[in-house]
Amino acid sequence: MRHTLPIAPQFYVTAPQPCPYLEGRMERKLFTALQGENAEQLNNALSQQGFRRSQNVLYRPSCSDCSACLSARIRVADFAPSKSQRRSWKRNAILKRRSTSPWATEDQYALFRDYLDARHADGGMADMDVFEFAAMIEETPIRSRVVEYVDTATSDLIAVSLTDVIEDGLSMVYSFYTPDRSRDGLGTYMILDHIEIARENNLPYVYLGYWVPGSPKMGYKARFSGLEVYIGGEWQPMTDPDAFESELHPLSTDPIAEQVANIHLPDRRATPGSNSGSNTG
């Protein structure tokens, strides 16, 4: 049986910069380019190993003395909403979901600016202009969707999620919503609705990005039942959020070479005309 060579992307490390989640710390990321005919396979494989997508890049935290950031996902079959989550669902019953191709609009950007100005005015995305926003939405080499939520009474755009469809679930790449409805729990509602979308499509997981113990910005993710976090090369059920620490330690992170060596990469598909009945071994 004839095979092509395995996918072998190059991995790089960013220069340290201030951590956006934990004050006084420096963050560093391990990343690789997401491009070519095998982009979808690579994204599937690395998403299942704690990586996240940003445009044409896949990245994972690789801080030199901190391992607080944990990739999180919800096991759809094991999720049961809490009382507060059920209230959020009811409060937003007036919203209508519509899913579109990854194409940026003026309404999306206006909502995005309102969201940043109200909630993340000092964040790394605060200066993003309309062209950078369009790139964030549209530059994707994989199957992505923009999920919009519209108020059926006013037709106003209320919330947006840029969502990737991967082989075992939905990955919520970036979400934003109007700051004028702070009591409605729109962020929670979007996650609840993505759980419903995953159920409708028989997808087992909803990927939420990183949960960071000790960071108020990320605390809401630990409130979802059926949550798993990626630790030590495997997904583990979240039992008690308070059991996770964000303490600094010089041995928290493996050396870069060891991290890269432990990444499992997909094989390219067998070449056309190969004998599919042969055993690959």
Query: Residue 1 falls within a domain, yes or no?
Result: no
CA dihedral 205, 206, 210, 213 (to 10 degrees): -80
Share of the chain above pLDDT 70, in %: 88
Q: Does residue 108 fall inside a structural domain?
A: yes
- DSSP H helices in the chain: 39-47, 83-91, 106-119, 130-138, 186-200, 256-261
CA distance 244 to 242: 5
In this predicted structure, what is the pLDDT of residue 241? 84
DSSP tag of 9: -
Tell me if 197 sits within 8 A of 79, measured CB to CB.
Answer: no
Q: Which two tokens stand for residue 111?
A: 């909502």
Rounded distance between C-alpha atoms, residue 262 and residue 274, angstroms = 29
Q: Which of the two residues, 232 and 131, has the higher pLDDT score?
A: 131
Nearest by Cα to 194 from 155, 147, 137, 229: 147
pLDDT digits (tens, 9 = 90+) for 219-268: 889 999 999 999 888 999 998 888 887 666 666 677 888 888 889 998 76
Does 3 reside within a domain? no
**Domain assignment of residue 171, yes or no:** yes
Residue 74, pLDDT > 70, answer: yes
Tell me the whole-structure pTM to 2 decimals. 0.88
Query: Could you read off the pLDDT of 106-127 as tens digits, one per residue?
Result: 999 999 999 988 876 566 676 7
Query: What is the rounded distance in angstroms from the CA atom of residue 5 to the CA atom of residue 190?
Result: 40
Query: Would the CA dihedral through 181, 185, 190, 196 be positive or negative?
Result: negative
Residue 158 domain-assigned? Answer: yes
Residue with the bigger pLDDT between 254 and 199: it is 199
Asked if the model's pLDDT at residue 7 lies above 80, the reply is: no
For 2, 83, 104, 141, 268, the CA distances from 265, given in Å and listed in that order, are 19, 41, 32, 18, 9
Instruction: Using pLDDT thresholds of 50, 70 and 90, give the confidence band for residue 280.
Output: very low
Q: How many domains does the chain have?
A: 1
> What CATH number did the domain enclosing 203 receive?
3.40.630.30
Amino acid 267: pLDDT: 76
For the stretch 160-190, pLDDT in tens is 999 999 999 999 999 999 999 988 999 999 9
**Residue scoring higher pLDDT (217 or 236):** 236
Least confident interval from 64-68, 85-89, 194-198, 241-245 = 241-245
Residue 281 placed within a domain: no
- Specify if 48 maps to a domain: yes
Supply the pLDDT for residue 4.
46
Q: In the chain, what percentage of residues exceed pLDDT 90? A: 64
The boundaries of the domain holding residue 120 are 11-261
Residue 5 has pLDDT above 50, yes or no: no
In-domain check, residue 2: no
Over the stretch 10-69, which tens digit does the pLDDT of each residue have? 999 999 999 888 888 899 999 999 988 899 999 999 999 999 999 999 999 998 888 889
Point out which residues pair with 172 in neighbouring strands.
163
Per-residue model confidence (pLDDT) at position 2: 45
| Mean pLDDT estimate for the chain | 88
Q: 160: buried, middle or exposed (CB in 10 Å: 19+, 13-18, 0-12)?
A: buried
